Each structure stands twice: as structure tokens, then as C-alpha cells.
Amino acid sequence: MGQHIITEEKVFGELKKAIIETLRTDEGKIRPETSLIKDLGAESLDFLDINYRLEQAFGIKMGRHFVLEHIEEMFGEGTAIDENGQLTDKAVEVLKIRFGDNNTDFRPGMDMDEVPAQITAQSMVRGVMDILDSLLEKCPKCGNSAWQSEDSVRIKCGSCGEAAAFSNGDDLIKEWLTKIQAEKKLF
């Protein structure tokens, strides 16, 4: 679908604000390829905090579960992470499609505990953009296509004033996995 109201730059800007407020780091240290864990020392609770700030800013619901957990839930235990807690070939294939071949070090046999270190600012921006892009073309309340934003962060209907509603992050990951499965028949 794709909304054309909030730009990727704007999302990156809001993410930077959230990271700076949460981790007390300098803006100059945050680049698209920056790993929040490896480069900025983020811990799991920090992600909750950063996600919460993004949710408040954009009026969205971020995913609570990572792609790997969704694979296991949808396609069965052991499909993404083997009995030793290591990534399967198929999990790596999915992660490479999702995060891009060149940007990550995902490899079969990688310990699942090493996976969160691969989360970059860019991958978080992409997660937010996916959610924003789930905006329906027409306002569900009045039926007009009149979405607009005064601050380039919050979208509302220019016709009736209704706040934009988006799919939640977990549902979008599941939809995406369903699509990948239909195309590639991995599991």
C-alpha cells in the first residue's frame, strides 16, 4: 500500500530521539548501520523503552516478538532454532530476505543469543515504515482519502479528523512470513 505522508528520514529522526532519550547517547553515534547492542550498548529493556517511545510518537503498535519466534509459532518448534539454540538454514534464509544479505552476519549454527546484536537503526526504521504503510487508503470512519499530517509524525483524516489506525507489528510479520512461505515453500 504505502503511505506517502511520513518519510523514512522522519522515522529515522524520531528513532534517533528515542535512542538518545533512552540510552543517553550522542546523535552523531547513530547511523543507519549502527547496531543498538554492539555499538550503543543497548539491553533488552532498552528496546522496550525505545519501542514505547516510537509507539507514542506515531500512534502505532510495534511487534513484541522477533521474526524467529513467529517462525517457530507458525511452522513448528525447531524450524527456526534447533535443539542447541542455534539458527537453522531456513531461519537464516528468512532473516537474509528480511534484513538484506549484505547488512548482516546471519549464518546457520549461529547462537540465537547473538541475533539481537544484528538489530540496526535501519532495521528498526524499516519495522516502523512497514507498520505505517499498513494505513488503509480510505478513512474507515468517513470513507474519504484525505489522510494528512501537520507534524509529519501523526496522521489523521483531513475530512473527519479520525486518527489513522495501523496493523500491529506482530500481525505484519506474520503476514510477511505467510507471503514468504507461499513464494519459497521453506517450511
Q: Which is nearer to Zn ion, 115 or 139 (CB)?
A: 139
Cβ 161 to Zn ion, closest distance in Å? Answer: 7
* Angle subtended by helix axes 8-23 and 121-132, to nearest 10: 130
Per-residue binder mask for Zn ion (CB under 5 A), 137-166, x = binder: --x-xx--------------x-xx-x----
- The grid coordinates of residue 124 equal 528498526
| Exposed/middle/buried for residue 9 (C-beta within 10 Å: 0-12, 13-18, 19+) | exposed
From the centroid of its chain, how far is CA 30?
17
Cβ 172 to Zn ion, closest distance in Å? Answer: 23
**Which of the 8 DSSP states describes residue 34?**
-
Cβ 162 to Zn ion, closest distance in Å? Answer: 5
Q: Which is nearer to Zn ion, 7 or 148 (CB)?
A: 148
Residue 71 binds Zn ion, judged by CB under 5 A: no
Query: Which of these ranges, 33-41, 66-74, 131-139, 165-173, lies near Zn ion under the rule CB under 5 A?
Result: 131-139
Cβ 138 to Zn ion, closest distance in Å? Answer: 8
**Contact assessment for residue 60 and residue 21, using Cβ atoms and an 8 Å cutoff:** no
Query: Which of these ranges, 29-37, 74-82, 113-121, 136-144, lies near Zn ion under the rule CB under 5 A?
Result: 136-144
- Sequence-separated (6 or more) residues with CB below 8 Å from residue 131: 58, 60, 61, 62, 166, 167, 168, 169, 172
